[in-house]
């Protein structure tokens, strides 16, 4: 069989090179990045007395706001700090740091950071990638607040200046008491790409703040070894609530992320610390931990392009269009293909919000407005950047992911979706032997399906969708509601972990059914012909999954489980649509952004 496949794949690879000259699609524009050395640690919160230096930021109305704090102890602490306040803007405080291990306390108020809006060094910037040296010289090109810890003249990316181990701490009773607010220019364009960016800022610690209304990210950590983001709220951004990229030893915890056009939490290209491991299961070492967060009313609750070695646990992921995704699709991300995500003890439910129908589709739809300000992001309008299946709890397009002991209910299309894409092709790698580098060795175990913690039966449209691709995938000990069965779209029983899947090539019919959705574009192709991902699924009947009850939507009837080798060519050729569509989405988005810039 392999003697048949290899020449066939080689021929297809050559064909793809000839017909697909376009570059790979990307999730966000960023400079070429690399992982840090990995010798850092997760920072610990310092008290005022433990800090090497203390700097205080406040606004004119901070005293009034402090007076409204209910806790007498917290009011007294804020009033003590108020007497030491020397700065009205967060960036001014960052610029005033002279020694490592400094604590910056940000007192209650709304921080617009006006001095960062329009500075001389921004002149001449015409969009596109910004290199690190430019960030050091003029972070205001992209950010309201910039924390850059590395000397661009040295050959490494390690933090080595006074901004290492910086802690930026809001002092209100809740994150919303300290609000970093972006917004729009007089012309209606986005004011800034990012709220706060910590770039090569090892040991960075941010807590108890809110950030809203940015073109890309409210909070962004990049090429950093050791960071904590905790007790924060991020909302109403065109892309991400929080993005961490090419970073290690990170913790994101106790957050509230909502109304973001891509995902609420996005640890992209996290350090690939388990790349050499062939094991699937609980991790001894991870690059980022995401815990005790609530991700809701986003296009996606959580996403992870090349989301490697992530430990995601004890979160609530609900009322998004799609609950979570880890994937190997988009180019420009080190650490591909994705591997070793550990998702455990999360509550993943009611991810049925259809922002495509509500805000994107139609000439007069809010997302088609002439300027970002007119869209209505500030009023909760969400404009999904990519087309994903509404009504899905989680999507996995990667390797060695361990999806264990989650509670998953009321996702009207499917609880979990595992499928293959040609990621190497989409990254510009046309070697045909690389095209099956996902989705392999994934395990779905001990998940509670179709009922809430209170015991209410709320079925998923289907518990598991699988396109039959990949080696080593398994499903075992998943628990449906009493009297129900686990529902799926496989013609026979899903492989268990004692006898996992063996055949790397997927089912042709299932693969090609996904292709029409790849051409979604939120400006030029909002409702692709033949794509049902963007339609609101019908709510599952209460007896879905019951023995003799309603069949799960999309459940197989008499189709066989495999795909003949002779059809592999058609399957891979179908990937052309995904490849072209990815480039089209990226290009259309750049064109739209250029019009507004």
**What is residue 586's predicted lDDT score, i.e. its pLDDT?**
45
**Residue 440 covered by a domain:** yes
Residue spans of the chain under pLDDT 50? 1-26, 557-597
* pTM reported for the whole predicted model: 0.91
Same domain, 343 and 297: yes
**What is residue 521's predicted lDDT score, i.e. its pLDDT?**
94
Same domain, 12 and 58: no
Same domain, 422 and 529: yes
Q: What is the biggest distance separating any 2 CA atoms in the chain, rounded to whole angstroms?
A: 77
Same domain, 19 and 143: no
Same domain, 60 and 20: no
Rounded Cα distance between 43 and 61, Å, is 32
Give the residue among 375, 385, 275, 237 at the shortest CA–CA distance from 325. Answer: 385
What own/partner pairs with CB < 8 Å and gap ≥ 24 does 137-143 have? 139/197, 139/199, 140/116, 142/192, 142/193, 142/194, 142/197, 143/116, 143/192, 143/193, 143/194, 143/195, 143/196, 143/197, 143/220
Helix (H) or strand (E) holding 471: none
**Residue 233 covered by a domain:** yes
Same domain, 1 and 109: no
Same domain, 86 and 20: no
**Residue 113 covered by a domain:** yes
What DSSP line would sit under 312-367, residue for residue? EES-EEESSSEEEEEES--BS-TTPSPB-EEEES-EEE-----HIIIIISSTT-GG
Same domain, 447 and 468: yes
Same domain, 200 and 106: yes
Of 257, 280, 301, at which residue does a domain stop? 257
**Residue 416 covered by a domain:** yes
Same domain, 323 and 427: yes
Q: What total number of domains does the chain contain?
A: 2
**Residue 219 covered by a domain:** yes
**What is residue 425's predicted lDDT score, i.e. its pLDDT?**
67
Of 257, 283, 303, at which residue does a domain stop? 257
Of 212, 229, 257, at which residue does a domain stop? 257
Rounded Cα distance between 283 and 286, Å, is 6
Count how many residues are written for the chain: 597
Domain range spanning residue 289?
A: 1-27+262-597
Same domain, 229 and 285: no
**Residue 216 covered by a domain:** yes
What own/partner pairs with CB < 8 Å and gap ≥ 24 does 532-535 have? 533/387, 533/388, 533/389, 533/390, 534/354, 534/356, 534/357, 534/361, 534/387, 534/390, 535/354, 535/357, 535/390
Same domain, 176 and 285: no
**Cα torsion at 331, 224, 232, 234 (round to 10°)?**
-30
Rounded Cα distance between 149 and 224, Å, is 9
**Residue 32 covered by a domain:** no
Q: Which two tokens stand for residue 346?
A: 């999360």
**Residue 188 covered by a domain:** no
**What is residue 426's predicted lDDT score, i.e. its pLDDT?**
66
Q: Which two tokens stand for residue 357?
A: 């129908």
Write down the residue that tokens 């993005």 correspond to. Answer: 243
């Amino acid at each position: 069989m392999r003697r048949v496949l290899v020449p066939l794949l080689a021929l297809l690879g050559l064909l793809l090179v000839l017909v697909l000259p376009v570059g790979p699609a990307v999730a966000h524009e960023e400079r070429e990045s690399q992982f840090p050395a990995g010798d850092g640690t997760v920072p610990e919160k310092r008290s005022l007395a433990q800090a090497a230096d203390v700097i205080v930021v406040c606004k004119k109305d901070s005293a009034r706001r402090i007076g409204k704090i209910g806790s007498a102890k917290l009011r007294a602490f804020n009033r003590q700090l108020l007497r030491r306040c020397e700065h009205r803007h967060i960036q001014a405080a960052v610029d005033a740091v002279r020694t490592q291990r400094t604590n910056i306390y940000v007192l209650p108020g709304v921080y617009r950071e006006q001095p960062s809006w329009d500075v001389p060094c921004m002149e001449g910037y015409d969009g596109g990638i910004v290199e690190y040296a430019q960030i050091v010289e003029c972070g205001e090109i992209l950010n309201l607040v910039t924390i850059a810890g590395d000397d661009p003249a040295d050959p490494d990316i390690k933090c080595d200046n006074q901004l290492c181990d910086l802690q930026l701490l809001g002092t209100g009773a809740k994150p919303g008491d300290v609000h970093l607010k972006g917004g729009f220019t007089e012309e209606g364009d986005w004011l800034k790409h990012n709220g706060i960016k910590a770039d090569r800022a090892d040991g960075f610690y941010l807590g108890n703040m809110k950030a809203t209304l940015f073109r890309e990210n409210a909070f962004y950590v990049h090429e950093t070894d050791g960071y904590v983001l905790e007790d924060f709220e991020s909302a109403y951004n065109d892309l991400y609530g929080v993005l961490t990229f090419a970073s290690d030893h990170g913790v994101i915890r106790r957050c509230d992320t909502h109304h973001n056009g891509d995902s609420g939490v996005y640890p992209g290209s996290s350090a690939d610390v388990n790349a050499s491991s062939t094991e699937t299961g609980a991790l001894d070492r991870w690059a980022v931990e995401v815990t005790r967060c609530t991700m809701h009313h986003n296009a996606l609750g959580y996403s992870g392009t090349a989301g490697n070695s992530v430990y995601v646990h004890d979160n609530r992921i609900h009322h998004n269009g799609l609950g979570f995704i880890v994937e190997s699709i988009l180019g420009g991300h080190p650490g591909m293909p994705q591997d070793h995500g550990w998702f455990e003890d999360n509550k993943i439910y009611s991810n049925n919000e259809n922002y495509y129908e509500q805000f994107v589709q139609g000439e007069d739809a809010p997302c088609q407005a002439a300027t970002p300000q007119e869209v209505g992001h500030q009023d909760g309008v969400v404009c999904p950047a990519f087309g994903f299946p509404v009504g899905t709890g989680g999507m996995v397009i990667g390797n060695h992911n361990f999806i264990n002991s989650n509670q998953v209910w009321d996702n009207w299309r499917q609880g979990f979706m595992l499928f293959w894409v040609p990621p190497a092709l989409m990254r510009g790698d046309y070697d045909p032997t690389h095209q099956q580098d996902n989705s392999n060795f994934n395990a779905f175990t001990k998940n509670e399906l179709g009922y809430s913690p209170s015991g209410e039966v709320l079925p998923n449209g289907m518990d598991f969708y699988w396109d039959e691709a990949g080696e080593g995938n398994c499903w075992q000990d998943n628990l449906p509601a009493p009297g129900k069965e686990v529902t799926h779209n496989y013609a026979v029983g899903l492989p268990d972990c004692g006898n996992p899947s063996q055949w790397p090539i997927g089912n042709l019919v299932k693969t090609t059914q996904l292709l029409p959705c790849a051409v979604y574009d939120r400006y030029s192709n909002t409702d692709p012909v033949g794509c049902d991902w963007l339609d609101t699924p019908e709510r599952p009947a209460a007896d879905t999954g019951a023995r003799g009850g309603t069949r799960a939507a999309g459940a197989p009837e008499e189709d066989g489980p495999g795909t003949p080798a002779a059809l592999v060519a058609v399957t891979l050729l179908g990937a052309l649509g995904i490849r072209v569509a990815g480039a089209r989405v990226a290009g259309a988005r750049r064109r739209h952004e250029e019009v507004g810039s």
